[in-house]
Chain A
Amino acid sequence: MSGSLEARVVGESTTAVKTLAIYLMCGARTPELAEAAVEGGADIVELGFPFSDPLADGPVIRRAAERALADGMRTDACLACLGEVRGRVDVPLIPMTYASLLEAFGYERFAEEALAAGATSLIVADLPADARPDLKRVQLVAPTSSDERIALAAGGTDGWLYLVTLTGTTGAREGLSPTLASLAGRARAATEVPLYAGFGISTPADARAAVELVDGVVVGSRAVEVADLGPGALRDYVAELRAAIDAAVPV
């Protein structure tokens, strides 16, 4: 196939033009896992601060959160984990959590302490764009979002816009969601900020198909599963994702 050969050449000449974000749950092994993910080619690491009732998460991240909470990963411990990860890697680090933690910790204080510990931004899964607009964070949009809401989220977002590829919770699916293309098109028309797609992306093929539509991908549930196998397995898995997206045709 000459098309993919050309793409590979283009990809090699513009290394890391597409962004790869890897999600890991905060825990004792997270600093070394984050380091492995970056070695494998991750450009951004999202760090899950676990919540007891994570509405946006499917079974894998929900179980990881339960386990992290059982291991005592409360907000202070997660901030310390963030600081340790920052000591090991240079890429942007983004805590991803739920409003209840910020409610308890104080929204401003949470943002300040996360920043001080090395965070680049925040993601709050159950805080839509019109809630707490003063809290700087990466905003999410979904296939159900109206153009008006996409514009609102893009206008307030911190650096890039998170495109939820499907109507559903986090977790691997068979193939890339068919609803991403239309969402990506509408988001592209609304904003200049980079668009990264997440939810349901688990295989190198999904990642590659996604970056033909957007500027980057977020891989969560599958990365959390592979992280259980250790840093070596995670590094290899991330490297496969990296290779796949670097080989994709640019937007």
Chain B
Amino acid sequence: MTETVTYGEYGGRYVPETLIPALDELEGGWREALADPGFEAELDQLRRSYGGRPTPLTLTERFAPGKRLYLKREDLMHTGAHKLNNALGQALLARRLGKGRIVAETGAGMHGVAAATVCARFGFECVVYMGAEDMRRQAPNVQRMHLLGAEVRPVEFGTRTLKEATSEAIRDWITNVETTHYLIGSCVGPAPYPEIVRELQAVIGREARGQFLAAEDGLPEVAIACVGGGSNAIGLFAGFLDDLDVRLVGVEAAGAASLGAGRTGVLHGSRSSLLADPDGQVLDAHSISAGLDYPGVGPEHALLRDTGRAEYVRATDDQAVAAFRRLAETEGIIPALEPAHALAKALELEEDSILVCLSGRGDKDLAEVSR
């Protein structure tokens, strides 16, 4: 049996038996890919020639005057968010595994768009599950997925947001496991997904570290990112985990603070910190940002919280919207509402040298912000 990676007491594989062989197969394929220089070479080529990497680092002189606050510009990646880093890598993995059908869940729609994009690029069939409430508030992304040839299946039960969309994507995977790869969008889910997503997003931190060193001749005092499931944050943090002088800060939505207000539980295949009642029933999250509107979080974040290597704070909807507007007005950059949570908390930091992961662009949020 394959040894699965856990994160202290977190992680694991809490899934119906039907999926265990598929997780073993995925784990085997992933280890083979990591050992194959051709995999990394093809991924690197795709990131550059298709994804637009490396993404730049931008100093914000008017957004945070008097500070050295840099943005890691994942919003400038193809499809407009960091999600493509993960989708490209998993598409290569799906091809190695011989799967021609992809299922994915999406909240804000950015992962759904990234999944639809790679499926168009690689010729895979693509089904994206999306909560009906999220389809309403992120309509432009639904249109994009349709244009890219994906089928978007509305999820009409429960909270009608990312939690239910994820459950439905997993149920589809259970049903079609022989032909289908589940392209999970964040560092959550059963092993080996948290590890795969983290490694595929680690390019953010790797690039940013080198770019910051080149620009400032030193490392940032703080690296800060928003946390829903936590994939852009874990990708950024991955570049600095061993730099113990760099403070790592994750920013949750106040109404979806799985780390700040959660308890240990099991959701979507892994043990982590989540919003749940004392009986283990998962609670609804609430955030203006569909991408953070999730009651769980990646297991590695729960461990980083417990060990104190990273700290997790909360921003309210109003704080996020204010930061969203401020970045647009002072820098000419419209961020997504998700990283606007990180921007809001970055402005409150005492440190001068700050790296913020601007995980995506805000076109999708215009209707929500002007509501």
Contact = CB atoms under 8 A, between A and B. Distances in A.
Interface stretch (B166-174, B320-328, B351-359): B166-174
Contact of A104 (B16, B17, B280): B280
A53 B163 contact: yes
Interface of A: 51-53, 55-56, 58, 62-63, 66, 69, 74-76, 98-105, 125-131, 139-146, 148-149, 152-153, 164, 167-169
A149 B158 CA distance: 34
B13 A100 contact: no
Contact of B282 (A63, A100, A125): A100
Interface stretch (B40-48, B132-140, B222-230, B267-275): B267-275
Nearest to B170: A55
Nearest to A146: B21
A194 to B, nearest CB: 18
Contact of A140 (B17, B22, B177, B178): B17
Contacts of B171: 55, 58, 168-169
Given A130-B1, A169-B171, A100 B280 contact: yes
Contacts of B287: none
Interface in B160-205: 163, 167, 170-171, 174-178
A53 B282 contact: yes
Given A103-B271, A131-B14, A143-B18, 12 more contacts: A55-B167, A69-B281, A100-B265, A100-B276, A100-B280, A100-B282, A101-B279, A103-B264, A126-B266, A144-B18, A167-B18, A169-B171
A168 B174 contact: yes
B22 A51 contact: no
Contacts of B266: 98-100, 103, 126
Interface centre among A74, A100, A142, A153 (most CB of B within 10 A): A100
Contacts of A152: 1
B163 A149 contact: no
A17 to B, nearest CB: 27
B161 to A, nearest CB: 12
Given A62-B157, A169-B171, A103 B265 contact: yes
24 contacts: A51-B280, A52-B282, A53-B167, A63-B157, A98-B266, A100-B267, A100-B281, A103-B280, A104-B279, A125-B16, A128-B15, A130-B1, A131-B12, A131-B13, A131-B14, A140-B17, A142-B16, A142-B18, A144-B19, A148-B1, A153-B17, A167-B175, A168-B171, A168-B174
A152 B17 CA distance: 12
A69 B265 CA distance: 17
Interface size class of B (residues with CB under 8 A): 35 or more
Interface string B23-65: 0000000000000000000000000000000000000000000
Contacts, number: 119
Q: Which residue of B17, B263, B266 has the most chain A CB atoms within 10 A of its CB atom? A: B17
A132 B12 CA distance: 11
Contacts of B178: 144, 167
Contact of B17 (A51, A66, A100, A129): A129
**Chain A interface, >50% SS class:** loop
Contacts of A75: 279-280
Contact of A66 (B1, B157, B174, B268): B157
Nearest to B20: A128
Nearest to B12: A131
Contacts of B66: none
A100 B277 CA distance: 10
Contacts of B268: 53, 55
B332 interface: no
Contact of B21 (A58, A62, A144, A168): A144
Contacts of A51: 280-281
B308 interface: no
A105 B158 CA distance: 24
A103 B268 CA distance: 14
Contacts of A146: 21
Question: Nearest 9 pairs between A and B by C-beta?
Answer: A104-B280, A100-B280, A142-B18, A168-B175, A74-B279, A100-B266, A56-B16, A99-B266, A52-B282
B15 A104 contact: no
A153 B177 CA distance: 20
Given A74-B279, A100-B276, A101-B280, A55 B15 contact: yes
A56 B174 contact: yes
Contact of B14 (A52, A63, A127, A142): A127
Contacts of A101: 279-281
A145 B23 CA distance: 12
Contacts of B264: 103
B23 to A, nearest CB: 9
A141 B17 contact: yes
A102 B177 CA distance: 27
